[in-house]
């Protein structure tokens, strides 16, 4: 470490950017050319162990040699230069590249995939897909009426039916209008924005470690399941809302309820997907043969989008559509990322490194219970609670100045979102630094 973070160059650039747009969320400016693996370098020359990885979106570290090599191959140049309108003019190899990338890791029972540019537009279009499927079922797959066609143009039923997606308190599914109606993590995300009056269920507030509080947690989950009445969107672990976990049994019962009521079950794997929990998809931990009707993804997957069952396929062109519908260059990179995940056994690595991280955090919790509580995690997808928001933010700032990048979530949690190449020794390096921080914390 050469300066405090943000350093003088970062502060100068913050001032410049703030003259162009609101840049108050910026932590510091980065030198990505010098960043490697698990280490992020800022513009002041500080080299930091990154346990946040661009809000959980860097799969195999900074400047990975396999991805650099991919970009240097002449046959790939066109894919990076010529971004097509995929819905109408896809490149010759588009279907093959989807098979090599996304479809090679498709969740169980979901053979269809549509790419998008981010997690919000993945969820937004997944909602639309679900509503169209539900309406088609209701009308018995008959032709659309004249009344439906005319009423939808003025935002009225029956053309715009009064449907809803049920979501959970603490959930985060994006910041576009439909997604915001299902997002309940922070008020600042929603303030001043008109919303849809959709139902909200409580998400279990469990005690950790889960295996020590089985009975209490079962009672809490039963309370939350009582209120499920409509179509459902849920995260396997509520991420932005505070890393809130539920038992595998809770999700199995939730899946049964959706099936019983004939409504779609959408699993949002935008932050949990891609391997960080030790399985490629976090919902695989539930052990279900039919885990979901729709699964959305983004972040570590390099591209946004969603998988779905055949029956959810749109019945006409242009119903799920935008200009780009993703980006073929991201599929190309994802195919390479998946090769690296498999060849380097990175799912097992996430389990192994995650165990080292979680064990270390539990030890710190035992030693500093006034600063750390509710340690929890699956794979490297770990977190703990600080006593309050101010202490949490102070710990993150001190850690950054000691060379470790961490992220917050929820009201007072610190979350860990390292890359898939984060190893045991990186965990121990962090734990040593953080132990000193806690010992000297005032």
Q: Among residues 101, 105, 131, which one has the least CA distance to residue 320?
A: 131
Angle at 394 between CA 389 and CA 399, to 5 degrees: 130
Q: Residue ranges of the alpha helices (H) in 368-442?
A: 389-401, 424-439
Q: Cα Rg for the chain, rounded, in angstroms? A: 22
* Maximum pairwise Cα distance, the chain: 72
The Cα-based distances of 228 to 31, 232, 387, 421 in angstroms read: 47, 8, 32, 39
256-294 residues labelled b (16+ CB within 10 A) or e (exposed) = eebeeeebbbbbbbbbbbbbbbbbbbbbebbebeebbbb
- Beta strand pairing call for 381-385 and 373-378: antiparallel
Known catalytic membership, residue 323? yes
Active-site hit among 29, 131, 168, 172: 172
Rounded CA gap, 295 and 265, in Å?
Answer: 9
- 172: annotated active-site residue: yes
Q: Kindly report the CA angle at 313 between 309 and 315, in degrees rounded to 5? A: 155
Question: Which residue in 42, 44, 243, 268 is the catalytic one?
Answer: 268
Catalytic residue among 2, 69, 323, 359: 323
Q: Pseudo-torsion of CA 395, 300, 165, 143, nearest 10°?
A: 170
User: How far does Cα 189 stand from its chain's mean position?
Assistant: 16
**Nearest alpha carbon to residue 303 among 281, 275, 273:** 273
Among residues 97, 279, 299, 330, the one annotated as catalytic is 299
Active site residues per annotation: 172, 268, 299, 323
């Amino acid at each position: 470490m050469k300066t405090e973070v943000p350093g003088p160059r970062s502060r100068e650039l913050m001032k410049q950017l703030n003259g162009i747009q609101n840049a108050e969320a910026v932590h510091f400016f980065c030198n990505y050319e010098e960043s490697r693996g698990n280490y992020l370098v800022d513009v002041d020359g500080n080299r930091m162990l990154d346990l946040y990885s661009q809000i959980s979106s860097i799969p195999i570290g900074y400047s990975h040699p396999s991805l650099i090599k991919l970009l240097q191959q002449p046959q790939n140049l066109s894919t990076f230069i010529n971004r097509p309108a995929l819905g109408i003019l896809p490149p010759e190899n588009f279907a093959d590249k989807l098979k090599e990338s996304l479809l090679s890791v498709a969740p169980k029972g979901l053979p269809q995939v549509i790419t998008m540019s981010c997690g919000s537009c993945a969820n937004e279009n997944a909602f639309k897909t679900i509503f169209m499927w539900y309406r088609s079922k209701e009308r018995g797959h008959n032709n659309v009426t004249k009344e439906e066609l005319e009423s939808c143009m003025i935002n009225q039923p029956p053309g715009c039916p009064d449907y809803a997606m049920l979501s959970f308190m603490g959930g985060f599914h994006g910041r576009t209008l439909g997604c915001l109606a299902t997002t309940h993590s922070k008020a600042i995300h929603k303030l001043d924005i008109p919303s849809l009056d959709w139902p909200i269920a409580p998400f279990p507030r469990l005690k950790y470690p889960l295996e020590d509080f089985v009975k209490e947690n079962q009672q809490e989950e039963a309370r939350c399941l009582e209120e499920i009445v409509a179509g459902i969107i849920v995260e396997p672990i509520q991420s932005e809302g505070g890393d809130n976990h539920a038992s595998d049994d809770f999700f199995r019962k939730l899946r049964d309820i959706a099936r019983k009521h004939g409504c779609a079950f959408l699993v949002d794997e935008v932050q949990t997907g891609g391997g960080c929990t030790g399985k490629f998809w976090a919902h695989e931990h539930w052990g279900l043969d039919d885990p979901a009707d729709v699964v959305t993804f983004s972040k570590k997957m390099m591209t946004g989008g969603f998988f779905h069952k055949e029956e959810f396929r749109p019945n006409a062109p242009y119903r799920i559509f935008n200009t780009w519908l993703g980006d073929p260059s991201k599929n190309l990179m994802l195919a390479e990322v998946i090769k690296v995940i498999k060849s380097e056994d990175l799912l097992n690595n996430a389990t192994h490194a995650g165990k080292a991280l979680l064990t270390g955090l539990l030890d710190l919790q035992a030693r500093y219970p006034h600063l750390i509580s509710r340690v929890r995690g699956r794979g490297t997808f770990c977190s703990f609670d600080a006593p309050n928001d101010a202490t949490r933010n102070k710990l993150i700032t001190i850690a950054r100045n000691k060379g470790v990048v961490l992220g917050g979530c929820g009201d007072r949690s610190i979350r860990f979102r390292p890359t898939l190449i984060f190893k045991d020794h990186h965990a121990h390096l962090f734990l040593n630094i953080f132990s000193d921080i806690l010992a000297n914390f005032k």
